[in-house]
Amino acid sequence: MLKLLKIAKLLKKLFCMKDDGYKIRDQFGVHFITFAVIQWIDIFSRYCYVETVLNSLKYCIKEKGLCLHAWCIMSNHLHLIVSTEKGNLSDILRDFKSYTSKKIIQQIEDNKEESRKHWLLWLFKQAGTANSRNENYQFWQQDNQPMQLQTAEFTLIKLNYLHNNPVKAGIVEKHEDYLLSSARDYNGGKGLLPIEHLTAAYTLRL
């Protein structure tokens, strides 16, 4: 009986750690964040929807104080390494998710050339209906699973992981050739979005 109680306490502790692990506890810290479309739908195979994400990130940088250190947009998800000096990182990311979700749904509804329109809207509607936090549609998956980057070594691991996504997917041979990421910024070029280099990680870059 005592053994079962210990196991139950351990499981409870693990679940609590998992739930708490999805929260940004240090609002000033540098974090690796992943945003994934529900059911991993390849929505970003259309550049018009990619532009919405790019424009929203530009707005967050200029108007909300977001510091973008690295980024990569794939067909059904995006990775960001971000921080802010204002101590409101969770608020910025919440607004980013809310705006891009509503905007892209509206784009799909208005896009006469979107051959997947009815299928996409049906999927987003089903996800929204199943989630009490949404009034109508749900575009992004609920959890972002933020990871705080507290050492140069761990930062380098996540930076390389982020930039190597399109290479592993077989889209490009060299990560700096991929347009929708900050890889070229870390290889002497200039990407589509303004970034603030991760100096420690850049020094250790493989």
User: Residue 205 pLDDT more than 90?
Assistant: no
User: Residue 175 pLDDT more than 50?
Assistant: yes
User: Residue 111 pLDDT more than 90?
Assistant: yes
SS3 at position 140: strand
Q: What is the pTM of this model?
A: 0.84
d(CA 126, CA 25): 32
d(CA 71, CA 183): 8
Least trusted range by pLDDT, from 6-15, 42-51, 85-94, 182-191: 6-15
Least trusted range by pLDDT, from 52-56, 74-78, 149-153: 149-153
d(CA 76, CA 186): 24
Q: Which long-range contacts (CB under 8 A, 24 or more apart) does 161-170 make?
A: 161/79, 162/32, 162/70, 162/71, 162/72, 162/79, 162/81, 163/70, 163/72, 165/72, 165/74, 165/79, 166/72, 166/74, 169/74
C-alpha atoms less than 13 angstroms from C-alpha of 3 in its C-beta half-sphere: 0
Q: Tell me the angle at which helices 89-110 and 117-130 cross, rounded to the nearest 10 degrees.
A: 140
Residues listed for the chain: 206
pLDDT band at 22 (very low <50, low <70, confident <90, very high): low
d(CA 117, CA 111): 8
- DSSP classification of residue 86: T
pLDDT band at 136 (very low <50, low <70, confident <90, very high): confident
d(CA 182, CA 175): 9
